[in-house]
Amino acid sequence: MSAAAKKLPDNPATLEDLLAIPEAERHHEIIDGELVEKGAATGEHGGTQADLVGTLRNRFSRRPGGRWPGGWWFVTEVEIVFARGQIFRPDVSGWRRERAPQRPTGTPITLLPDWICEILSTNRSNDLVKKKRVYHQCKIPHYWIIDPVEQTLSVHRWGPDGYIEVLAAQRDEVVRAEPFDAVELSVGVLFGDDEPDE
């Protein structure tokens, strides 16, 4: 067994186990066969998530054409089915409208996203190792990791041997971060800075 392989529990958690938790209390994921409660977001995490969604929604959550590029659907904290019964609640997920003409719906969503962003908080090792590994196995094309404590953005592109970091940026930088590189992004906006004047 390789170092990355892990034996699943004798009785791995299932979708039915997850859905048995009352919806108001269900902030869980199935990671490597275990039902894991996702930690409550810190103020930094929640603020970064809101700022990211607002920034992307303004430019990309629309049909293509017009002043902004458009072409995407975005959701936050929804249950999505990944490989081998893994069910995660990524902080923010996005689908290209050319592949998903309607916004993905249902519980859980079964259409894999084109982009995922995890915002580091209490579940750091899951985001940086376990979930990243599954996202790669599922060939999610783009994976962002935002660290609200260090105030950094890491942008990863899928490659056959693993994710390739194509951008690492700090709060004071302005970048073009794929797959949203049609528009410049002021990284500080993700951490509470005002949008620069246009």
Which domains, ranges and CATH numbers included, belong to the chain? 42-191 (3.90.1570.10)
Q: Minimum mean pLDDT among 100-114, 121-135, 142-156: which range?
A: 121-135
pLDDT score at 2 = 43
Q: What amino acid occupies position 162?
A: G
The pLDDT tens digits of the residues spanning 152-166 come to 999 999 999 999 999
pLDDT, position 7:
53
Q: What is the pLDDT of residue 1?
A: 40
9 Cβ neighbours under 8 A, 6+ residues apart: 33, 34
Which one-letter DSSP state was computed for residue 59? H
Q: Which residues contact 132 (CB under 8 A, 6 or more apart)?
A: 143, 145, 163
Tokens of 37: 């409660």
Q: How far apart are CA 162 and CA 86, in angstroms?
A: 19
Positive or negative torsion for Cα 53, 158, 85, 36: negative
d(CA 17, CA 143) in angstroms, rounded, equals 28
Could you tell me what percent of the chain has a pLDDT over 70? 94
User: Of 33-42, 92-101, 159-168, 172-181, which gets the smallest average pLDDT?
Assistant: 33-42
Determine the Cα–Cα distance for residues 94 and 116; give it in Å rounded to an integer.
Answer: 6
Global pTM reads 0.90
